[in-house]
Structures are given as structure tokens and as C-alpha cells.
């Protein structure tokens, strides 16, 4: 074949592959951002539970645990800091991007039976839910691939169980 017959081949290949490569690069960075936020939320739940087992079981202790969780989660996005709002039914209240749930369990308890090895145990469970705002929400239809719906936020959850002595 003559070189003249292949003129423009590279341009056509780049036009076809560039969108796919850009989406892969974007999703790699986005996954890294969400994973980093999940690590912070999980660490905050663990630190809150660790702090909480040293406290008494009244509502003042719950406020102190929430404050400790919020303090530990300082590395979250500055535009959406973690809020010291109690979760209702393990879901953030409407309009809020985050919540902290604190549950004390004394064995035996049907919902948490897998945690209990003896009947004299008690546990503190700290649950942190946080919505990570995505950089570019994507929704639409792509020929051959179909419809894509990448949301404007992704919820990450950190949960920690600590045995209270």
C-alpha cells in the first residue's frame, strides 16, 4: 500500500478513541476522590466509636461523640463538611448531605445477634453517612452503549462497632 492511501488514519482513530480515553481518565480520578472521602468517613466513625466507649451513655456523650467524629473528618471536601446531625432510620435528613448515627446495643439483641457472643456484652455502633459531590454528573444516551446516569453525588458510609467494657 502506498502511504498516500493511509493518510488520515491516525486522525480517524483518535476521533473514535479520544472520548473513551477521556471518560476512563475522568472515572479513574473520580474513583480516587470518592475512595479518599470514604477512607476519611470510615476513620471518623472508628475514632468516634473508640472515643464513645470511654464516655457515659447519656445524650451529652452523644454530642461529644458527634463532635469528635466531625473533628476527625476535617479532611472532607471544604464545600461539604460533615454535619453533626443525627441520622433518622440510618438515612440523612432531607436536605442534609451527611449524618452521624450512634446506637448502643446490649446483648441479646435480635437485630445485632451476630455481634453477641455472651449475654453480658454491650456495643457502641457509630454510623457516618456522607454525600460526595461528583465533579461532573453525566446523564444521557450514547449510541450502542445505551443510557448513562452518573449521579451528582455518591453516598459513602463508614460504620464502626466497638465493644463497651
Per the structure, the complete domain to which residue 11 belongs is given by 3-164
Percent of the chain with pLDDT over 90: 15
Question: Given CA atoms 107, 108, 113, 117 in this order, what sign does their dihedral have?
Answer: positive
What is the predicted pLDDT for the residue at 4? 65
Percent of the chain with pLDDT over 70: 79
Q: Which residues pair with 147 in a beta bridge?
A: 141
Domain count, the chain: 1
pLDDT per position as a tens digit, 25-34: 988 998 898 8
Query: Based on the number of CB atoms within 10 Å of its own CB, is 82 exposed (0-12), middle (13-18) or buried (19 or more)?
Result: buried
The reply to whether omega before 108 is within 30° of 0 (cis) is yes
Q: What pLDDT, in 10s, does the model give residues 25-77? A: 988 998 898 899 999 999 999 999 999 888 776 667 888 888 889 888 887 77
Note the Cα 97 to chain centre separation in Å.
Answer: 11
Let me know: does 91 contact 129? Beta carbons within 8 Å: yes
Amino acid at each position: 500500500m502506498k502511504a498516500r492511501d493511509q493518510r488520515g488514519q491516525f486522525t480517524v482513530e483518535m476521533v473514535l478513541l479520544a472520548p473513551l480515553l477521556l471518560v476512563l481518565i475522568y472515572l479513574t480520578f473520580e474513583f480516587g476522590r470518592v475512595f479518599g472521602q470514604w477512607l476519611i468517613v470510615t476513620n471518623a466513625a472508628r475514632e468516634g466509636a473508640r472515643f464513645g466507649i470511654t464516655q457515659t451513655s447519656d445524650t451529652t456523650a452523644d454530642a461529644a461523640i458527634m463532635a469528635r467524629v466531625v473533628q476527625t473528618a476535617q479532611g472532607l471536601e471544604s464545600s461539604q463538611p460533615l454535619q453533626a446531625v443525627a441520622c433518622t432510620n440510618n438515612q440523612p435528613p432531607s436536605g442534609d448531605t451527611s449524618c452521624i448515627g450512634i446506637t448502643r446495643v446490649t446483648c441479646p439483641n435480635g437485630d445485632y445477634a451476630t455481634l453477641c457472643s455472651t449475654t453480658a456484652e454491650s456495643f457502641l455502633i457509630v454510623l457516618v453517612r456522607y454525600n460526595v459531590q461528583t465533579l461532573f454528573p453525566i446523564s444521557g444516551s450514547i449510541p450502542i452503549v445505551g443510557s448513562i446516569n452518573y449521579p451528582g453525588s455518591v453516598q459513602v458510609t463508614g460504620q464502626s462497632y466497638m465493644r463497651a467494657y
